[in-house]
Amino acid sequence: MAEKIDLTGSLTLIRHGQTDWNKNHLMQGSSDIPLNDRGRQQAVETGDKLADLGLGFDVLVSSPLSRARETAEIVGSRLGLELTATYEGLVERHYGEAEGLDIPEEARRAPDAFYQGVESERSVYVRGVQTLREIVLAYPGQRIIAVSHGSLIRRVLSASNGREWATPVPNAAPLEIPLEGLFAWREEDEPLLVGKP
């Protein structure tokens, strides 16, 4: 008999704050680009909004990339939370040769058709979902914040909601993930293709 999974907690994903590459519409991917001043302010505002909700978050994790880690630290400072851990599995999709470029719209939709070394859609889905499941299982019943990246968050939203999530995720935007959907998605399920990275 399968062990029952504790879904009494919650999982809120936050995209990192703005960077200069975001501002200039450059593909970041797994390049370690720091927050700019606007991104730091966005993180403060998000932390304050979450504090005002009074939800009492317990755990704060992030991607190890500096833009996500700094966003997490700023949000945490507004909530009285220390960064608990970083997870490699929360890193943004690797865009290979496209990183650092302002690429055309059609290439943004399917970068692996235009550039070498781009991580596959399936890999991002599997990595994102598996990492977030690992985090939820490590902190059962806890209210978790995970700071990550736009492409990964949209793919996790698509998987956990069972439909394509094509809407871009704004910088420093918090989104709650349905835990039932996160644990219902199976690796053999066909990835839902998303519009923009």
Q: What angle do CA 126, 128, 133 make, to 5 degrees?
A: 95
The CA distance from 193 to 197, in Å, is: 10
- Is 25 annotated as belonging to a binding site? no
- Is 142 annotated as belonging to a binding site? no
Q: Which CA distances in Å does 81 have to 41, 47, 49, 78, 84?
A: 18, 10, 15, 8, 8
Give yes or no: 149 in active site.
Answer: no
- Is 40 annotated as belonging to a binding site? no
- Is 32 annotated as belonging to a binding site? no
- Is 20 annotated as belonging to a binding site? yes
- Is 18 annotated as belonging to a binding site? yes
Catalytic entry in 70, 88, 92, 106:
92
- Is 67 annotated as belonging to a binding site? yes
- Is 36 annotated as belonging to a binding site? no
- Is 37 annotated as belonging to a binding site? no
SS3 15: strand
Q: Which CA distances in Å does 93 have to 32, 35, 72, 125, 155?
A: 12, 18, 19, 10, 10
The span from the first CA to the last CA of the chain, in angstroms, equals 39
Please report, as a single letter, which amino acid is at residue 188.
E
Cβ–Cβ < 8 Å for 70, 34: yes
Q: Which residues have CB under 8 Å from 113's CB, separation 6+? A: 107
- Is 102 annotated as belonging to a binding site? no
- Is 78 annotated as belonging to a binding site? no
Annotated binding site for substrate: which residue ranges?
15-22, 67, 92-95
Q: Which residues are catalytic?
A: 16, 92
